[in-house]
Structure formats: structure tokens, C-alpha cells
A and B are shown apart, each in its own frame.
Chain A
Amino acid sequence: MDWAYLFEISLTGIASGGLYALAALAFVMVYKATKVVNIAIGEMLMIGAYLFFTFAVTFAFPLWLAVPAAVLAAGLLGAVIERSMIRPLLGEPPISVFMVMVGLSSVLVGLVELIWTADQRRLPDFVSNTPIMIGDAFLAPKVFYGALVAVVLIAVVLLVFRYWRGGVALRATASDPAAAYSMGINVPRVFSLTWVASAMIAAVSGIIVGSIGGISSSMGVFGLSVLVVVIVGGLDSVLGALVGGLLIGLVEALAGAFLGGEYKLLVTFIVLVLVLMIRPYGLFGTHEIERL
């Protein structure tokens, strides 16, 4: 066993796990507030990346302008999605909402292919190419900086959840919408805000993922791994999203390195099935108590 190699692989895995955690956070936020399983999360990442591509390449905006522009546009999209698809389906069975998200992901993929064609594109480089060395281990700079941004963003989101009034309102809505409403919290606005924030976070992770691996209309596959992450962690657990993200990132990297690339998805899905067999609500998810 080559320990240096193992260390290097694990490091890459943890770094990409940070990206999973960020996208999973966007997912969990929406699930907590509106109980929607956002299976279109991968496609929302993709839209964010393509918006960034448009602003940065087509309109040739500088980086400091292109990123906020893309994030704001993605937020607008989030608001539109919430208003046009999620709100009308409030109280419908979860499977209906789930299928609406499936439909949404199909629409988004089709739109991307219509507007930007299905060709693979590259996002402009905006980090230096000097490799990052941690001890003796080499880490690709894009992955490193991506993970760094992810960690900072996750920390900011967690702090906002904890201390900002809006964050408190969100947690109140998540635990009991009716009680929150009677306490004067504008629940519909919380729903909208959550979707906007989630779409923005998704856009940021889309920009990072896109700058690492390029963007294409099949980028939504990333969403499948995110789905595994949130299921393993527990759909409504922020902690679960973080732990699950790191775990799946690590497992994927190790499987890719020691078994081969085609085993990546297989191993993550086997982990998923095992976790579900032992803990049906994920590692940290709330165990729903059913009453008749």
C-alpha cells in the first residue's frame, strides 16, 4: 500500500466532497422549508454554470461582475420556479412534487441544448495553475480553490441560519409552518426566499464544478451524486449534507482510484443501499413518526 498515494487520493476526495456538501446544502435548505425533493438540483447547477458562461464569455464581463450576475440571474430563476411550480402544488402528494422536479430537470436540459447547444464548453480559467502541495500530496488548484470557496460559503450559510432573522424564520417555518405563520412570519415569503437562496448556492457550486470539469448539457449527472449524498446524510439534515458530502466524495475518489472509473457510481449507490437498509432515514435524518 502506497500511503502517499492514498493520502493524495483521499485529499482530492475530501475536496470534491466539499463541493458535494455545498450542493447538498442547497438541496437540504429547500427540503427543510418546503419538503420538496429537488431532483433537478444537478440541472440548477448546470444553469448557473451556463449563465456564468454567458456573462463571462459572450458578454465578456470581468470575473467580479460575471459571478454576481450569474448568481443573481439564477436566484431569479429560483423565484420563478417557486412561484410557478412549487406554490401551486403545495399540499399535493410528495410524488407529484417529485415528478414536477423531474419535469423541470427535463425542461432545463432542453433549454440549455436549445440556447447553448449540447457541445461541451470550457469556462474561462480564473485561478492560477500552480499546483497546490499539501505535504507531499499534489492537489489540482481548481479543486483546492473550489473546495475552499465551498467551505467558506457553507460556513456563511450556517451562520446565517443560526443568527440572521431570516434564517431563524426559515428554521421556524421548517419545524411548523402554521405556528410560524401565526407568530407573524410571512411563510410564503420564506418559501420564495429559500428557493432563491438555494438556486444561488446551486449556481455557485455549478460555476465551481463547471470550471473544474467543463460544462455540457449532461452536467446534471452531478446531481445524482448529490442525491446520494443527501439520502445518505438524511434529507432534512444540514449536518448530514456535510458529512454525507465528504463521505461520498471520499468513497468516489477511492473507488475511482483503486477499482476504476466505472466503479465510481456503482460503489456510491451500494453505499446508499447499505445506509438505507440500516438507517432508512439516512444517517442524521429525522425519523418520521407515523400516526393513524
Chain B
Amino acid sequence: MRIGTLKETYIADAALFDSRTQQVWLAVGAALLLLFPFMASDYWLYLACLVSINVASATGLNILTGYTGLVSLGQAAFMGLGAYTVALLELRVGSPFLLNLLAGGFVAMLGGLIVGIPSLRVKGLYLAIATIAASFIAHFLFANTAFTGGTGGLTVPPAKLFGVPLDTSFRLYWVIVPATVLMLLGGANLFRTRVGRAFIAIRDRDISAEVLGIPLLRYKLLSFGLSSFYAGVAGGLWAYFFRVVTPESFPLSMSIFFLAAIIVGGMGSILGGILGAVFMTMVPELLKLGVALLPRGTELTVFLSPVRTVLFGLLIIGFLVFEPHGLAEVWRRIRRFFHLWPFRN
């Protein structure tokens, strides 16, 4: 049961984490994130880093698609832009690691602004296809320009922070997870500001938003820029994490993965982006673990990849048909159950 949540000031009303219970749970979550690397094995740390990168990128896409209503299938391409920028800066310039990440974000942002230009005239699914075009053009540029290393790609040396090479999942965890948490907080706060509200107004009805005095082009471009900034930073982290960047690292199916993640998680909800990205990254891994538990001799590993493909599709279809608001809605339902616990039965 939820009691005693009266608010006395506007600041308290607009607070991101408004109740004591929520703050306690957040503290518990933060403590778990801090303790996790000391308890988990290398494999789980590797997964944690991967999940964290995906969460960052999915949140970026959520800003664009979930909150502004512009469907994009170019998220992987923007990640690629970020990853290539980081790789090139690390290899050719040798600038410090955090600066590279930011630069990756800004280069991707620039790419996002360019891709966003048609978004004023082109709407809905036409726009989605136009972003597919952008991702193919990006793929072509990665594969066919001299300084990106062609189809062989680039090998990135490990990042150095204060002279310590970040070459294990354990060390990278301390960079990737805080970066993601920072971006998540930024995203959550964005929608308490004027800009974020404008995004939501555009999503709900862009003509009405324009009538209300929101300059459409500027805000749509801004949304594209922010979303690709997230993707760029996530791509930069990706480059340091996998340490090889090739044109094939960022295929169209990856963009589809992110779109699927925010749909499964719940569009237009920061929590949804997190839940979706975690869920979609973990399902294939859990499937792999499940198959590993089966007795040897059963030749199931051959079927693993196609089963994964089928499952991926079924998850998208299943969520859209049965749970269109995604995992975030499931979460809200569970919370409501506890809030109303003794009264509603």
C-alpha cells in the first residue's frame, strides 16, 4: 500500500524519483551495480557490458522513436559512425579516451542531423525506409573509403584511463556502466524540460505542435541529433569493448534489434528502453545456456541460431499483439498491485 506521498512544493511534484520507496530501491540497485563486478564471473561481466551498451543505444532510439514519434532504422549506422570515429582517433591521433567517446557522439550527431533533414517532409514509414537508405550509404562508406580500413576494418587498441589499460570486462565495466547510467539520467531528465515536452507534443500530433509554436524542423533535427549522440557514444563504447570495428559490425539487423528492444520494453518510457534492451540481449544468451544444460549427444546446437531467429520474431509479434505497451506496462501493473495491495483483490 502506498501512503504518505503528498507533495508540498512543485519541485517535489516534478522530482524524477518522487517517493521514498523508489529512492530506497534505486539505492539498492546502485549498490548491486557496484557489487556486481566483484561477484560475477567474466562471462557475466561481458554480458553486463554488452547489455549496458545496448541500453544506451536503445535509450537513444527511444528518444527519437518513442518520444518524438520518428521511426528510424538507422541506429546501428550511427553507432558505426561513433565506433569508427573512436577507432580512428585512437589509432591516428591518440587523444584521450573520454574525449574520443564524446567526439564519437558528436560525429554521430552530425550524421543524425544530416539524416534528419528529410524528416520534415517525409513522414512515418517513408521516413523509416529513408533511414534504411542512410544506413546502407553509411555501410558503403565504411567499406569503401581508404582511411576506414575497407572491409577488413580497424583494430582498436585498449583504452587507457589514468595509465591503466582497460582490457578486461572487469575494467571496462567501470567505464561503460557509469556512462550508460549518466546517459539514462540525462534522458529521463530531458523529458522534464521544455525540449522534451516539445518532442512529446510532436509525437502526439506534429501539426498541432507546430500550431502551438514549436518549430518542427528544429526540434525534429534536435531529436535526431540527440538520439544519434547516444548511438555514437554507445558505438564508441562498443569499439573499445570489442576492439575490432568492421563495416559488418553494424548491420541493418542491429537497427531492427534496437527498434524491437524499445517495442518489447515499451516505447516512450526510459524504463521501457532499459527493460527492453536487457530482455532482448539476455533472451538469446539464456537460450544458449538452456541448450548447454541439455544432455550431450542431442545435436541441438545446430538449431540454435535459427531458433534464436524465430524466437526474436515471435517475441516482437507476441508483444505487439498481446502486450503493445511492452514490459514497462507489465512493470507498472506489478507496481500498482503492490500500491493497492490490501484494497484491491
Q: Which residues of A contact B (CB under 8 A)?
A: 37, 85, 88-89, 92, 94-96, 98-100, 102-114, 118, 224, 227-228, 231, 235, 262-263, 265-266, 269-270, 272-273, 276-277, 280-282, 290, 292
Within 8 Å by CB of B143, from A94, A106, A111, A262, lies: A262
Cβ-Cβ contact count across A and B, 8 Å cutoff? 133
Known contacts A113-B309, A292-B208; A99 and B321 CB within 8 A of each other: no
Which residues of B line the A interface, CB within 8 A? 65, 71, 118, 121-126, 128-130, 132-134, 136-137, 140, 143-144, 205, 207-208, 211, 256, 259-260, 263, 303, 305-317, 320-321, 324
List residues of chain B with CB within 8 A of the CB of A292: 205, 207-208, 211
Q: B307 contacts A270, CB within 8 Å?
A: no
**Interface class of chain B by DSSP:** helix
User: Told that A103-B260, A103-B314, A114-B310 touch, could you supply 19 new A-B pairs with CB distance under 8 A?
Assistant: A92-B324, A99-B260, A99-B320, A100-B317, A100-B321, A102-B256, A103-B313, A103-B316, A107-B310, A110-B311, A114-B303, A118-B306, A265-B136, A272-B130, A272-B133, A276-B121, A277-B118, A280-B126, A281-B126
- Smallest CB gap from B310: residue in A: A110
Closest residue of chain B to A260 (Cβ to Cβ) is B144
Closest Cβ of chain A to B45, distance in Å, is 29
How close is A262's CB to chain B, nearest CB, in angstroms? 7
**For residue A224, which residue of chain B has the nearest CB?**
B132
User: Could you name 18 residue pairs across A and B whose Cβ atoms are closer than 8 Å?
Assistant: A88-B321, A92-B324, A95-B71, A98-B71, A105-B313, A106-B312, A106-B313, A107-B309, A108-B313, A265-B140, A269-B133, A270-B137, A276-B118, A276-B126, A276-B129, A277-B121, A277-B122, A292-B208
Pick the contact of B321: A89, A110, A227, A277 (CB < 8 A): A89
Closest CB in chain A relative to B10 CB, distance in Å = 31
The answer to whether A99 touches B263, judged by C-beta atoms less than 8 angstroms apart, is yes
**Bound-state Cα–Cα, A63 to B133, Å:** 39
Contacts of B207 in A (CB 8 A): 290, 292
Q: Is the CB of A89 within 8 A of B320?
A: yes
Which 9 pairs, one residue from A and one from B, show the smallest C-beta to C-beta distance? A106-B313, A103-B316, A110-B310, A110-B309, A107-B313, A113-B306, A269-B133, A103-B317, A103-B313
